[in-house]
Structure 1
Amino acid sequence: MKEGPDIALLGSLIGDPARANMLSALISGKALTPSELAEIANITLQTTSAHLKKMEAGGLIRQRKQGRHRYFNLADEDVAGLIESMMGLAAKKGHIRTRTGPKAPELRKARVCYNHLAGELGVQMYDSLISRKYLHENEDEVTLTKAGKDFISTLGIEIDTLKSSRRPLCKSCLDWSARRSHLAGSLGTALLDHIYAKGWARRLNEVRVVEFSPKGELEFTAHFPL
């Protein structure tokens, strides 16, 4: 009998097309109902419920009840990172499903990946922090340097508060559209919240797009220059 982590189970859960579509939708970080997920996967509500039970049992999603309604999210940031990384690998290998539409360029420019900034501007922010030695990257490990702590503090973000979280402070996440890394972890979330709080950008309703105003993009680039 083979021992160790059962990646075959994860593969079977993610590999089903309907479940893959639902997981890709949940990477937005927004809680969705079974009916909404059924529409996304283009399957019946009864079939959706069966898929949701399997994914919940496998630790990929979690549900919350509010009154008579049920809402589903990804279980945690590790699952979100896995889905985004698989999307990045699929794009890198040329496994692309063509979906044209007005939101496609905007999604590539700036979008939400679970709870942090992704897309071209997410990669720009990550590269800027690396190039100025605010972040140190060693293979898959990303750490915040002393200079980085000082910079983050100037933004009004409390590092000690972020460190008290059970989540990792810094984590790289492979961006599916840019095929390079952007910043995840509690710091990635805090920086996206800072962008919203400063009024540089807003998240469009019902989609993953993060829309920057012209002035907001200038401010963003001033803080995270290429």
Structure 2
Amino acid sequence: MANVPDIAKTAKLLADSSRAVFLNALMEVDGLPASALAQQAGITLQTASSHLHQLIEGQLIKVEQHGRHKYYRLASVEVAQVIEALSALAPKPAVHSFNSYSASQKLRKARSCYDHLAGALGVMLTDYFVKQSYLIESNDLNYEVTFEGMIFFTSMGIDLTALQKQRRQFARRCLDWSERRYHLAGSLGHAVMNQLITRKWIVQQPKRVVSVTELGAASFQAEFGLTLS
């Protein structure tokens, strides 16, 4: 149909294992050279360049020049949202060893979803915000911050007015691929994760893993009543 977006064209770009590796890698690191992406996908640099060109043409990634080097990153937050949503529908990765099982469990416990907190911890924290009436579900895609929520998030050191002026969704409901429930995304979700990092409650690790520090475990329990196993 000529009057609707051509989702088949975008879906075709996503339906390639090498390009999928690129996009998942860029969910973890905001800016990678072609050589690093080629290495992760196990393909030649020439083949990688062809895939990257197609992803740029499809407006899924963008490239920035820094001196003699080019760095690739996701084109927008919306692209990250699509990748996370597809991950919720995709078959779970097979576990063939203790190492792969351990890595899978770490991802499920806590991880970054582009620029906000996901996994069991992200869902648990979002559930707390909802139960405390800091957030309410305004529609299928978003949360609304209540008056109590404004007080709470401001007390965390988050400037809600500045966040709402950003050219992105403010408080979005993001379907968590491992928990099959929603966690907080958008500019507010990003700000919450940044605050937890600043407070040294959590630490970002390679491969999107997020670890909870001893201070964090004690603080989540003391301030939110959340017990992290």
The alpha-carbon deviation at position 82 of structure 1 amounts to 0.6
In structure 1, what is the equivalent of residue 23 of structure 2? 23
**Is 1:96 matched up with 2:92?**
yes
Residue 146 (1) aligns with residue 142 (2): no
Q: Contact (CA 8 Å) 2:200, 2:215: kept in 1 or not? A: no
Q: How does 1:54-73 map to 2 (within 5 A)?
A: 54-73=54-73
| Residue of structure 2 in register with 1:198 after alignment | 199
Task: Using the aligned pairs only, state the percent identity.
Answer: 41
Between the aligned partners of 2:225 and 2:14, the Cα distance in structure 1 is 37
Structure 2 CA distance, aligned partners of 1:70 and 1:101?
Answer: 35
Matching residue's letter, 2:127: D
Distance apart, 1:88 and its partner CA? 0.7
Q: What is the CA–CA distance in structure 1 between the aligned matches of 2:142 and 2:115, rounded to whole Å?
A: 19
Cα distance in 2 for residues equivalent to 1:220 and 1:27: 26
Q: Is the 8 A contact 2:89 2:177 kept in 1?
A: yes
RMSD: 1.5
Q: How do residues 112-131 of structure 1 correspond to structure 2 at under 5 angstroms?
A: 112-131=112-131
Stretch moving more, 141-150 or 180-189? 141-150
**How much has 1:61 moved relative to structure 2?**
0.7
How far apart, in 2, do the equivalents of 1:216 and 1:8 lie? 44
Letter in structure 1 aligned against 2:125: M
SS across alignment from 2:144? strand
Q: 1:40-189 maps to which residues of 2 (within 5 A)?
A: 40-90=40-90, 95-99=91-95, 100-137=100-137, 138-189=139-190
Whole-angstrom CA distance in 2 between matches of 1:139 and 1:202: 31
Amino acid at match of 1:188: G
Cα deviations by residue, 1:88-140 (Å, 9 ceiling, x for unpaired): 111xxxx2231515422211111111100011100111111111111111322
Q: Which amino acid aligns with 1:21?
A: V
By how many angstroms is 1:147 displaced? 1.2
Change (3 A) 1:13 1:213: same
Give the Cα–Cα distance (whole angstroms) in 1 for the partners of residues 224 and 89 of structure 2. Answer: 26
Q: Deviations over 1:130-173 (max 9, x none)?
A: 11111111322321111111110111111111112111110011
Relative contact order higher in (CA < 8 Å, ≥ 6 apart): 1
What's the offset of the Cα at 1:33? 1.2
Measure how far apart 1:36 and its partner are.
1.0
Contact 1:117–1:192 at 8 Å: present in 2 too? yes
CA drift at 1:180: 1.1
> Hey, which bits of structure 1, 4+ residues long, moved more than 6 A?
none
Aligned length: 221
CA distance in 2, matches of 1:88, 1:180: 10
Q: Is the 8 A contact 1:27 1:113 kept in 2?
A: yes
Please list the CA deviations of residues 179-221 of structure 1 after superposition, one character each: whole Å capped at 9, or x if unmatched.
11111101011001100110111112x3211111122122134
- Compute the TM-score of the two structures, normalised by the length of structure 1: 0.92
Structure 1, 101-110 or 166-175: larger mean CA deviation: 101-110
Q: Which one-letter code corresponds to 2:79 in the other structure?
A: V
Q: Helix, strand or coil: the match of 2:207?
A: coil
* CA distance in 2: counterparts of 1:224 and 1:124, whole angstroms: 10
Unpaired runs of at least 5, structure 1: none
SS for the counterpart of 1:27 is: helix
> Offset of 1:10 from its aligned partner?
1.0
